[in-house]
């Protein structure tokens, strides 16, 4: 049953404090039984910027995204998203914050009993009072954005891996989120398909003004997103080109190692790092 | 008792208590979700179709052959006392008070409990449940509440169907094999029933429907370990629901007897 309009859904989208970061992690700790997952993790993400988490499998990268969404609670520390303390919120309150967030899961996590269109329009259809023709229009719009408009009535099982990821991106952006989280968006995809996903991330960030948090261990994709920018020319044609230095500086890399932050800095600083672990990872 | 065995026992008890606690929390959330917004009415209707109408064939077949075999067996026993015309009384008492509710519930445990555990389990291991939460939907309200309501509503209705079909199966055997006239059979069916028996036969399936579906949901939502985990959950849901159906049946029967008689 649809019960709220898009505007009245959830908490105010404006940040609680002016110029406050969209995401703030402050000394966050998390352990499952004896196993430490995150230890004293502190970072922030500013509006419109990109934060890219790198690290080996099991380093705690995906856990950070789950903590941001409130799917997990930290043992200690503070997590603020859009100015709200998500680490202290109830599930009901979190639904409000989640309305302003989108998440692209590792394997897409599309609802396999729904069509592509139903997947993309799920949030608008189920959780808002948006009229059905409006929902359909928005679904077609976002599917057009990721180049899959003609697949609207197909089942997810009929799509390729790359197409499913793009549908997952379309679903995450359908309700116009302020913050998008990507969990290994290109893992398991061929280099050409990965580039199309990278381009979608860049387009969303630069054309829709979405703040991005990306978890990946695909260095090529991480650098592509950090060093490219999307724009439209005078004729309205989309163009993706190398970004100016100021734009490149808006993308931060964080290297996680055994649940702690091993490195934090720009793409240039990452490349220039002489740390042995970093060198091994980059080679 | 060795220290290792003691530790194992404590761990087992802790796990069992955790399961019970989580199950109780799910039941409480499902009940709260049934009486508060948001309420997904369309999903409730869908589940009534899947759980209720989808189970009709298996329930009809079970009810019919149970009534028929009861007539065959009781006919032979009653013959020893020259009481063959009372076969209807025996079938109605057995079917409506006990066999109808319990066999319907066991069929539902096999069909519905396993289906729910497999469906929700698959959604868990493919992160679809996390995706639902990320999209701002409470999985309890969206997935559990509609199934619980459908089970709660449809189990008594299916039981009534099983009872009716069972009595019909008994009638066919009484008429064709035992040579008991229809009038004698049906008047015996009515005479053998008290209104308390009918109430008991209708009230019990509400409890049984609730436990079958909540166990299926609980086991499904705690699935981990990929496709193997889904298979494990499906088996666990059927076994747990079947055993709990018999346990709940005993306690509810005991309670209703103390109320009605």
Contact A123 B128 (CB under 8 A): no
Q: What is the pLDDT of residue A100?
A: 87
State the pLDDT confidence band at B21, using cuts at 50, 70 and 90.
very high
Spell out where A67-175 has E strands: 76-81, 84-85, 101-104
CA gap A254, A247 in Å, rounded: 17
Task: Look over chain A and give the mean of its residue pLDDT values, rounded to a whole number.
Answer: 85
Q: What is the pLDDT of residue B1?
A: 61
CA-closest candidate to residue B141, choices B58, B229, B231, B36: B36
Phi and psi angles of residue B80, each rounded to the nearest 5 degrees, phi first? -65, -25
CA gap B23, B27 in Å, rounded: 6
Please list the residues that pair with A213 across neighbouring strands.
A51, A181
pLDDT at A7 exceeding the cut of 90 = no
Q: What is the pLDDT of residue B236?
A: 94
Task: Report if residue A69 sits inside a domain.
Answer: yes
Q: What is the pLDDT of residue A16?
A: 47
Give the one of B39, B41, B131 whose C-beta lies nearest to A109's C-beta: B131
Convert the pLDDT of each residue in A73-125 to its tens digit.
999 999 999 888 999 988 888 888 888 889 999 888 999 989 999 999 998 88
Give the one of A71, A127, A171 whose C-beta lies nearest to B130's C-beta: A71
Token pair listed for B107: 């069929």
pLDDT at B209 exceeding the cut of 90 = yes
CATH number at residue A29: 3.40.50.300
State the pLDDT confidence band at A20, using cuts at 50, 70 and 90.
low
Tell me the average pLDDT across B158-170: 95
Token pair listed for B23: 């199950």
The pairing of strands A50-55 and A35-45 is unpaired
Residues of A with CB under 8 A from a CB of B: 1, 3, 9-10, 66, 69, 71, 91-92, 95-96, 98-99, 101-103, 105-107, 109-112, 122-123, 126-127, 171
pLDDT at A11 exceeding the cut of 50 = no
CA gap B249, B210 in Å, rounded: 12
Cβ–Cβ under 8 Å, residues A213 and A51: yes
Phi and psi angles of residue B12, each rounded to the nearest 5 degrees, phi first? -65, -45
Q: What is the pLDDT of residue A66?
A: 93
Phi and psi angles of residue A230, each rounded to the nearest 5 degrees, phi first? -110, 145
Task: Report if residue A222 sits inside a domain.
Answer: yes
Q: What is the pLDDT of residue B248?
A: 95
Exposed, middle or buried by CB within 10 Å (0-12, 13-18, 19+), for A96? middle
Question: Domain range holding B131?
Answer: 39-260
Cβ–Cβ under 8 Å, residues B47 and B147: yes
Contact B128 A106 (CB under 8 A): no
| Distance (Å) from the alpha carbon of B169 to chain A's nearest alpha carbon | 39
Q: What is the pLDDT of residue A3?
A: 46
Contact A71 B40 (CB under 8 A): no
Cβ-proximal residues to A31 (8 Å cutoff; 6+ apart), any chain: A37, A75
Q: What is the pLDDT of residue A4?
A: 52
Q: What is the pLDDT of residue A2?
A: 45
Tell me the average pLDDT across B84-100: 89
pLDDT at B9 exceeding the cut of 50 = yes
Cβ–Cβ under 8 Å, residues A156 and A116: yes
Question: Domain range holding A45?
Answer: 23-100+177-282
CA-closest candidate to residue B139, choices B61, B235, B30, B63: B30
Q: What is the pLDDT of residue A155?
A: 93
Task: Report if residue B3 sits inside a domain.
Answer: no
Portion of chain B with pLDDT greater than 90, in percent: 71
Does A83 or B231 have the greater pLDDT score? B231
Count contacts between A and B (CB, < 8 Å): 65
Task: Report if residue B96 sits inside a domain.
Answer: yes
Cβ–Cβ under 8 Å, residues A27 and A40: yes
Contact A122 B37 (CB under 8 A): no
The count of structural domains within chain A is: 1
The count of structural domains within chain B is: 1
Contact A1 B40 (CB under 8 A): yes
Task: Report if residue B134 sits inside a domain.
Answer: yes
State the pLDDT confidence band at A17, using cuts at 50, 70 and 90.
low
Task: Report if residue B55 sits inside a domain.
Answer: yes
Q: What is the pLDDT of residue A275?
A: 83
Convert the pLDDT of each residue in B63-81 to its tens digit.
999 999 999 988 888 888 8
Tell me the average pLDDT across A190-205: 86
CA gap A121, A170 in Å, rounded: 9
pLDDT at B205 exceeding the cut of 90 = yes
Convert the pLDDT of each residue in A208-220 to its tens digit.
888 999 999 888 8
Tell me the average pLDDT across B103-119: 95
Convert the pLDDT of each residue in A230-259 to its tens digit.
888 877 788 888 888 888 888 899 999 888
Cα separation of the two ends of chain B:
47
Task: Report if residue A115 sits inside a domain.
Answer: no
| Distance (Å) from the alpha carbon of A246 to chain B's nearest alpha carbon | 32
Task: Report if residue A93 sits inside a domain.
Answer: yes
Searching chain A, which residue's CA lies closest to the CA of residue B43? A1
pLDDT at B214 exceeding the cut of 90 = yes
Task: Report if residue A226 sits inside a domain.
Answer: yes
pLDDT at B2 exceeding the cut of 80 = no
pLDDT at A1 exceeding the cut of 80 = no
CA gap B176, B180 in Å, rounded: 8
Convert the pLDDT of each residue in A151-181 to its tens digit.
999 999 999 888 898 899 899 888 888 899 9
Q: What is the pLDDT of residue B116?
A: 95
Give the one of B40, B126, B135 whose C-beta lies nearest to A122's C-beta: B135
Please list the residues that pair with A253 across neighbouring strands.
A52, A265
Task: Report if residue A11 sits inside a domain.
Answer: no
Does A146 or B202 have the greater pLDDT score? B202
């Amino acid at each position: 049953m649809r019960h709220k309009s898009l505007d009245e859904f959830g908490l105010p989208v404006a940040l609680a404090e002016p110029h406050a970061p969209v995401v703030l992690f402050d000394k966050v700790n998390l352990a499952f039984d004896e196993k430490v997952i995150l230890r004293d993790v502190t970072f922030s993400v500013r509006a419109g910027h990109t934060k890219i988490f790198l690290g080996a499998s099991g380093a705690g990268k995906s856990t950070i995204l789950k903590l941001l969404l409130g799917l997990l609670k930290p043992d200690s520390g503070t997590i603020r998203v859009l100015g709200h303390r998500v680490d202290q919120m109830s599930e009901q309150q979190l639904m409000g914050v989640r309305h302003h967030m989108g998440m692209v899961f590792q394997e897409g996590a599309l609802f396999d009993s729904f069509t592509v269109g139903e997947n993309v329009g799920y949030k608008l259809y189920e959780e808002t009072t948006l009229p059905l023709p409006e929902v359909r229009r928005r679904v077609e719009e976002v599917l057009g954005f990721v180049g899959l408009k003609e697949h609207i009535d197909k089942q997810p099982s009929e799509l390729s891996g790359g197409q499913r990821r793009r549908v997952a991106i379309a679903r995450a952006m359908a309700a116009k989120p302020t913050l998008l989280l990507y969990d290994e968006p290109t893992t398991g995809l061929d280099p050409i398909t990965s580039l199309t996903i990278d381009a979608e991330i860049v387009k969303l960030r630069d054309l829709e003004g979405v703040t991005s948090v990306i978890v990946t261990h695909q260095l090529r994709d991480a650098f592509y997103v950090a060093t490219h920018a999307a724009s439209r020319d005078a004729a309205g044609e989309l163009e993706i080109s190398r970004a100016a230095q100021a734009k490149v500086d808006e993308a931060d890399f964080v290297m996680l190692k055994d649940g702690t932050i091993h490195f934090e800095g720009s793409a240039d600083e990452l490349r220039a790092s002489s740390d042995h672990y970093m060198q091994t990872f980059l080679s | 008792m060795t220290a290792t065995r003691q530790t194992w026992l404590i761990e087992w008890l802790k796990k069992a208590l955790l399961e019970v606690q989580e199950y109780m929390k799910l039941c409480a959330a499902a009940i709260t979700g049934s009486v508060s917004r948001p309420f997904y009415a369309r999903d409730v209707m869908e589940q009534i179709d899947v759980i209720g109408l989808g189970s009709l064939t298996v329930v009809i077949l079970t009810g019919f052959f149970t009534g028929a075999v009861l007539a065959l067996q009781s006919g032979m026993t009653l013959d020893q006392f020259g009481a063959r015309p009372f076969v209807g009384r025996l079938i109605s008492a057995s079917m409506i008070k006990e066999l109808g509710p319990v066999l319907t519930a066991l069929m539902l445990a096999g069909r519905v409990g396993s289906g729910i555990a497999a469906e929700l389990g698959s959604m868990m291991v493919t992160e679809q449940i996390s995706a639902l939460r990320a999209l701002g939907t409470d999985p309890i309200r969206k997935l559990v509440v509609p199934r619980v309501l459908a089970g709660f509503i449809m189990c008594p209705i299916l039981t009534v169907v099983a009872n009716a079909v069972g009595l019909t199966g008994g009638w066919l055997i009484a008429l064709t094999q035992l040579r008991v006239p229809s009038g004698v059979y049906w008047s015996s069916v009515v005479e053998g029933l008290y209104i308390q028996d009918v109430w008991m036969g209708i009230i019990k399936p509400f409890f049984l429907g609730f436990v079958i579906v909540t166990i299926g949901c609980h086991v499904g939502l705690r699935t981990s370990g990929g496709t193997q985990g889904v298979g494990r959950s499906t088996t666990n849901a059927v076994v747990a629901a079947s055993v709990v159906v018999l346990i709940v049946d005993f306690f509810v029967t005991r309670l209703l007897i103390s109320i009605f008689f």
